[in-house]
Amino acid sequence: MSKVTINPIRTEQDYEEAVKRLDSLLDMNPKPGTDLDDELEVLTTLVQAYEQVHYPIELPDPIDAIKHIMEENGWKNKDLEQYIGPKSRVSEILNRKRYFTLQQIYMLHKHLNLPFEMFINERVIQSAA
C-alpha cells in the first residue's frame, strides 16, 4: 500500500489545485479502503476547512428562513402559532415589529430545525442596536 501525500492548502492557488484534484478523484469513484479513497477523504476535509475560513456561508435572516419554510410547506401564519404564540404575535414577528423571545427561538429550533446561530449572531445584534 502506498502512502498518500497531500500538502496543506495555504493559498488560493493551493485551493484551486486541490479542488481540481478532488474533482478528478470524484470522477474516478474510488472503492472504499483504497489509497484513492483515503486521498479523497483527506482532501475533502482540507478543502472544507479552507472554504469555511475563506468562503463562509452567512446564515440567512431568520424571518426570511421562516417565510421560506412556510412557502415550501404551504403554511399560513396560523401554522406558526404553536411555535410563536397568538396570531397577532406571529404577525408582529413576520412583519419585523417584534423580535423572538428565547422560548420562541427554542421552539423554532426544535420543531423547524433552525440553528440557534440564525437568531443570535453579530448581524442580528447590530440591527437591533
* Amino acid letter, 70: M
Q: Does residue 53 sit in helix, strand or coil?
A: helix
CB 90 within 8 Å of CB 77: yes
* CATH code, residues 62-128: 1.10.260.40
Q: What is the pTM of this model?
A: 0.60
Residues of the chain with CATH 1.10.260.40: 62-128
Tell me the CA distances in angstroms from 20 to 15, 27, 34, 46, one per residue in order. Answer: 9, 11, 20, 13
Question: Do 46 and 6 contact (CB within 8 A), yes or no?
Answer: yes
Query: Is the CB of residue 119 less than 8 Å from the CB of residue 62?
Result: yes
Condensed to tens digits (0 to 9), the pLDDT of residues 11-66 reads 999 999 999 999 999 999 999 999 999 999 999 999 999 999 999 888 889 999 99
